[in-house]
Structure 1
Amino acid sequence: MRILVTGSAGFVGAALTERLLARGDEVLGIDNHNDYYDPSLKEARLARFAEHPRYTHLRADLADADAINRAFRDFTPQRVANLAAQAGVRYSLKNPQAYVQSNLVGFVNVLEACRHGKVEHLVYASSSSVYGANRKMPFAVEDAVDHPVSLYAASKKANELMAHTYSHLYDLPTTGLRFFTVYGPWGRPDMSPILFAERIVRGEPIDVFNYGNHSRDFTYIDDIVEGVIRTLDHVAKPDPTYDPLQPNPGTSNAPYRVYNIGNDQPVQLMRFIELMEQNLGRTVEKRLLPMQPGDVPDTWADVSALRRDVGYAPNTSIEEGVKRFVAWYREYRRIA
């Protein structure tokens, strides 16, 4: 197929692009290579497939409607994976405008291009952060998500609402995937695995928020990519059982779906740090601090809907995933 991937130099986008090329798809990748984190990591990810004969790369910003429309018109994608976004909960407290431009303006540009380009299926990245102040565990797509605790979360909830509008008005099949704490090789340096690894290697204390009482549904990158591909291949259709008198937030009488994509096995943050220490062969001091603004104490994905509909089956244990991540980190940082 001809698949357009936004954020193709990003963590999930690069891993997805590699898998799509390996199975024979033709891919146009779009990324703006911004400096939210070290652009050299994005360049290194991109270098793994940039010369592939079925890959074309475009440096452009989703907020540039003319560039996006031109890319869709020239490439004529059958399916789209929109993984580009301004990420990060804490950064949204410092620079809210970046989230409006990328996650709202950029997303409506993608929706409009998909609509006019008659795209068969748009799969887009939502986030577990939409559950916000919810405390019922595990988080399920049937739950209401009306109490976000960061602008990032609000922007992702807005994406789901915008996608439903286009599915309803224009019969555009859309599927949102609520990612739960993705980790693994080539991960983002603003996320805890690389932050922890850097500090452990340097022997510096680790800041552990919520006094170490966090748990996260850590999900290994390979499992995430497998789920994204299965979802791309499973075009959203109207739910024949949808009841507007008792609406299910995860489905619709339009071709619209929202799924959790996680490991369904929350891990205590202190256990994750312990595994990092074991694999790096050293221990560090932990500074126990209060919870950060915009953060949530726990996440846990109910992935039963994704299992049922596309056969999603994450199978990478936290022990194996951390081992693979640390092996990559040692090689990338040239640590003996």
Structure 2
Amino acid sequence: MTSPILVTGAAGFIGHAVVHRLLERGETVVGVDIVNDYYDPALKAARLSTFNGRRAFSFHRLDIADADAIARLVREQGSTRVIHLAAQAGVRHSIANPFAYERSNMAGHLSVLEACRHQPGFEHLVYASSSSVYGDRPMGGQGFSEDEPSVAPVSLYAATKRSCELMSQSYAALYGFPQTGLRFFTVYGPWGRPDMAYFSFTDRIMAGQPIEVFGEGRMARDFTYIDDIVDGIIGALDHPPERGDHRILNIGDSQPVPLMDMIATLEQALGREAVKVMRPMQPGDVTATYADISKLHALTGYAPKVRLAEGLGRFAAWYRDYYRV
């Protein structure tokens, strides 16, 4: 019998979807989340409620920066595979609340590393990094490659994520357990994060309020549907590197979409037109993101399937059902 998989950030957008997929394939899952109030805790509670009655799932409300508690949980559960998704997210929020990122992202990542390195027979740590580590660089004809140096983050959030990658590199060299860091690009879909642009735009459009379009609309993002992201995470988990290796992989769609095109697609999905107020670029934002996913594809066969119109249509249907609008 395989040991339970530990998933941190289980009440979060991506963690919730990952746990469901693992349960569907017969895994036993231990979920961890602090369930903070960065955004509506009721949404996080609603995500967790979807696991009610699932005997193969147990939940522990813990701060991942509590190293002793995380180490004890990993030890008691006997977990030899960990998917570490918990973090303080949000580029703009990191400007106003920097110490939340130091604790959740850096101290939290170190707690997980320590727990894994002391666990006998540990097999694989898969953890969330971010495309923001690439900084604000021109988008040429090819996607951002994992081989780029990534030494010029433009937000504290990005700096903490790059720091986590470097910590993992040192732990792989020192202690020899396999690790995979996944650089997520813009993830969207049902049960998403209300602070993300497509979600906050929907809130305002449905309320008849104008939306603020930053960067004068001249930005582009590599929007990736949640189900495709989960395919990549599980695929990476199932293909650990050699013992002592630490690898970085992009996980995105490789089809960057201009912000104004995303808004037009969202308007169509909602059946309403947005009143747009153009604003300049915000501190910490980047002009474009574009994932080169060739390494993840070669490793796992990862190939995103859900195009933006279909994905935003599914999100709009979920939004209307969840909020009864």
TM-score, normalised by the number of residues in structure 2? 0.97
Separation in 2, partners of 1:203, 1:230: 41
Residue 58 (structure 2) pairs with residue 56 (structure 1): yes
Q: Answer yes or no: is 1:122 the counterpart of 2:125.
A: yes
* Alpha-carbon distance in structure 2 between the residues aligned to 1:87 and 1:315: 26
Match of 2:13 in 1: 11
- Aligned partner of 1:76 in structure 2 is 78
Name structure 2 gaps, 5 residues minimum.
none
The answer to whether 1:169 aligns with 2:174 is yes
Other-structure match for 1:246: none
1:160 to 165, 172, 176: 165
Q: Does 1:132 find its partner at 2:135? A: yes
Q: Helix, strand or coil for the counterpart of 1:122?
A: strand
Contact 2:5 2:27 in 1 (8 A): yes
Relative to structure 1, is the Cα distance of residues 285 and 136 closer, same or farther in structure 2, using a 3 angstrom cutoff? Answer: closer
Distance 2:148 2:68 in 1: 37
- 1: CA distance between counterparts of 2:53 and 2:126? 25
SS of aligned partner of 2:127? strand
Partner of 1:243: none
Contact 1:173 1:255 in 2 (8 A): yes
Deviation at 1:202, TM superposition (A): 1.2
Report if the CA contact (8 A) 1:50-1:56 is conserved: no
Aligned 8 A contact 2:136 2:288 in 1 = no
Aligned length: 320
Deviation per CA, 1:66-110, whole angstroms, max 9, x where unpaired?
211110111011200000000000000001000000111111010
Look up the SS of the partner of 1:271 in the other structure: helix
Shift of 1:134: 2.6
Counterpart for residue 42 of structure 1? 44
For 1:279 and 1:169, locate their aligned partners in 2 and report how far apart those are by CA, in whole Å. 50
**Alpha-carbon contact 1:218-1:262 (below 8 Å) kept:** yes
| Structure 2 residue 303 is the aligned partner of structure 1 residue 313 | yes
* Contact 2:139-2:290 within 8 A present in 1 as well: no
d(CA) in 1 for partners of 2:237, 2:137: 28
CA offset digits 1:116-144 (Å, max 9, x no partner): 01320000000000001332541110111
Q: Distance in 2 between matches of 1:277 and 1:200?
A: 8
| Unaligned residue ranges in structure 1 (runs of 5+) | 239-253
- Whether the 8 Å contact between 1:87 and 1:152 is mirrored in structure 2 is yes
Does 2:148 match 1:143?
yes
Aligned-pair identity (%): 55
The 2-side partners of 1:318 and 1:276 are apart by 9
Q: Please say if 1:237 is aligned against 2:227.
A: no
Partners of 1:75 and 1:15 lie apart in 2 by: 21
Matches within 5 A, 1:316-327: 316-327=306-317
Distance 2:67 2:114 in 1: 9
Q: Which residue of 2 aligns with 1:112?
A: 114
Alignment of 1:262 with 2:252, yes or no, is yes
Deviation of the 1:280 alpha carbon: 1.1
Query: What corresponds to 2:192 in structure 1?
Result: 187
- Following TM superposition, by how much is the alpha carbon of 1:299 offset from its aligned partner in structure 2, in angstroms? 0.4
- What TM-score, normalized to structure 1? 0.94
CA–CA distance in 1 between the matches of 2:60 and 2:207? 37
Taking the aligned partners of 1:50 and 1:105, their CA distance within structure 2 comes to 31
Q: Which whole-Å CA distance do the structure 2 matches of 1:51 and 1:296 have between them? A: 42
Quick check: 2:182–2:251 contact (8 Å CA) kept in 1? Answer: yes
Structure 1 residue ranges (4+ consecutive) displaced by more than 6 angstroms after TM superposition? none
- Pairing of 1:244-323 with structure 2 (within 5 A): 254-323=244-313
Assess if the C-alpha contact under 8 Å between 1:134 and 1:145 holds in 2: no
Taking the aligned partners of 1:284 and 1:17, their CA distance within structure 2 comes to 35
* Aligned-residue RMSD, C-alpha: 1.0
Structure 1 residue 279: deviation in Å?
Answer: 1.4
- Residue equivalent to 1:249: none
The residue number in structure 2 matching 1:26 is: 28
